Amino acid sequence: MPDLQGGVFKIMQNRYHFLKIPYRSPIKIANEGLLSSMLAVAPKYAEGKLVDLGCGTRPYETIFKPYVDSYFGIDYESSAESNYGDQTRADLYVDCTETGIDEESFDTVLSTQVMEHVYDTDKYVKECHRLLKKGGKGIFTIPMSWRCHAEPYDYHRFTKYSLEKIFTENGFEIVELREIEGALASTIQHLIVFLCNRPGFRNVLFRAIKKLINTVLFTVLNYSALKLDRYFWDEKLCLNYLLVVQKK
Q: Is the pLDDT of residue 82 over 80?
A: no
Long-range contacts, 18-25 (Cβ 8 Å, 24+): 19/59, 19/60, 19/62, 19/63, 22/219, 23/218, 23/219, 23/222, 23/223, 24/214, 24/215, 24/218, 24/219, 24/222, 25/214, 25/218, 25/222
pLDDT level of residue 205 (50, 70, 90 thresholds): low
- Residue 55 in domain: yes
**Residue 7: pLDDT band with limits 50, 70, 90:** very low
The answer to whether residue 2 is domain-embedded is no
Per residue in 90-132, pLDDT tens? 999 999 999 999 999 999 999 999 999 999 999 999 999 999 9
Q: If you average pLDDT over every residue of the chain, what do you get?
A: 89
Question: Quick one: pLDDT at residue 204?
Answer: 58
Residue 80: other Cβ atoms inside 10 A: 21
| 82 in any annotated domain | yes
Cβ contact 87:81 at 8 Å: no
Residue 1 in any domain: the answer is no
Percentage of the residues of the chain whose pLDDT score is greater than 90: 75
Count of structural domains, the chain: 1
Tell me the residue range of the domain where 191 lies.
Answer: 7-247
Question: Is 232 part of a structural domain of the chain?
Answer: yes
Q: Check which CATH number belongs to the domain holding 93 and give it.
A: 3.40.50.150
Within-domain flag for 57:
yes
In a domain, 187, yes or no: yes
